[in-house]
Amino acid sequence: MYSPGPMEDRGQQDDLGGLEAKVDELEKLTDSLDDVPEEELVGALGEAVELLAEINARIEARLESAGDESREIGALLGQVDFGPFDEAMEDHEHRERTTGEPGV
């Protein structure tokens, strides 16, 4: 049986690795700002802003994807009939209250 899960997970892992690489690049850039001559500081700060924009875009994309998945799961759960499960739990809890012993 085909399951798209592993393929999707691999894509998310690749994206996470790319995001971590951008954060590492930003950290290296910020560590080097003390050594950047004043005339090059504007360019270095511009590069930092670009990296932050890329990081932000990736985070927003992941949040949107997570929201889509959450809505999809919610829609699926909305179609599930939990009635029999709820009844069984109520019966179990009633037996626990009346006998005082769990699972009896």
pLDDT, tens digit, 9 for 90 and up, residues 36-52: 898 999 999 999 999 99
- Contact criterion met (CB below 8 Å) for 24 and 51: no
What are the backbone angles phi and psi of residue 28, rounded to the nearest 5°?
-65, -40
Q: 60 — alpha (psi -120 to 50), left (phi > 0) or beta? A: alpha
Band (pLDDT 50/70/90 cuts) for residue 2 is: very low
pLDDT per residue as tens digits for the range 38-87: 899 999 999 999 999 999 999 999 999 999 999 999 999 999 999 999 99
pLDDT per residue as tens digits for the range 89-99: 999 999 888 87
Distance between CA 14 and CA 43 in Å, rounded?
29
